């Protein structure tokens, strides 16, 4: 039986380990079987830029909450988060490549991300 950290979402095998969203630490993690870890922080915004912050319990609707994960190839991943943000990361460089925010409404997070068409995406 394998232990997963509390807050693990979208976990999947990746290279010789696992990749997952760590919602408790507001990051995406790649962990090898040897224990080597890459942690990439989810973008957050100034509190004054967020909308609808008074409508929900902050434990439920909060920024930095990572819920979507999509592999482009062996180095690039896209991560969805709250508020309505898609971020592209380069795992080899351990860096954020770019980010797109669709709304500052704290109640919304990007969940389902996929590459389309899929043919050959991870065949390299």
pTM over 0.75: yes
SS3 of residue 118 by DSSP: coil
CB atoms within 10 A of CB 44: 16
For the chain, what are the domain ranges? Answer: 8-101
Shortest CA distance to 99 belongs to which of 36, 41, 37?
41
Mean pLDDT of 92-119: 90
The winner for highest mean pLDDT among 3-7, 74-78, 113-117 is: 74-78
The DSSP H or E segment spanning 49 is: none
Tens digit of each residue's pLDDT (9 = 90 or more) over 25-70 = 999 999 999 989 999 999 999 999 999 888 656 556 789 999 899 9
- Residue 123 and residue 73: Cα distance in Å, rounded? 8
Sheet bearing 85-90, strands edge to edge: 66-71, 76-81, 85-90, 95-101
Whole-number average pLDDT of the chain: 87
Residue 26 corresponds to which tokens in the numbers above?
């507001």
Q: Cis check for the bond before 83: say yes or no (omega within 30 of 0).
A: yes
pLDDT band of 116, cuts 50, 70, 90: confident
DSSP E strand stretches across 1-124: 8-14, 17-22, 27-32, 37-41, 66-71, 76-81, 85-90, 95-101
28 phi/psi in degrees, rounded to 5 = -110, 140
What is the per-residue pLDDT for 2?
58
Correct CATH for 8-101 of 1.20.1740, 2.40.10, 3.40.30, 3.30.70:
2.40.10
pLDDT band of 122, cuts 50, 70, 90: low
What is the per-residue pLDDT for 1?
41
């Amino acid at each position: 039986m394998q232990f997963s950290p509390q807050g693990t979402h979208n976990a999947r095998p990746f290279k010789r380990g696992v990749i997952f969203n760590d919602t408790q630490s507001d990051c995406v993690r790649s962990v090898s079987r040897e224990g080597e870890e890459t942690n990439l922080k989810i973008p957050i915004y100034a509190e004054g830029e967020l909308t609808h912050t008074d409508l929900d319990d902050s434990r439920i609707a909060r920024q930095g909450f990572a819920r979507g994960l999509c592999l482009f190839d062996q180095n690039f991943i896209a991560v969805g988060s709250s508020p309505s943000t898609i971020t592209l990361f380069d795992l080899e460089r351990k860096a954020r490549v770019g980010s797109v925010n669709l709304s500052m409404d704290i109640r919304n997070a990007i969940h389902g991300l996929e590459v389309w068409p899929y043919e050959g995406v991870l065949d390299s």
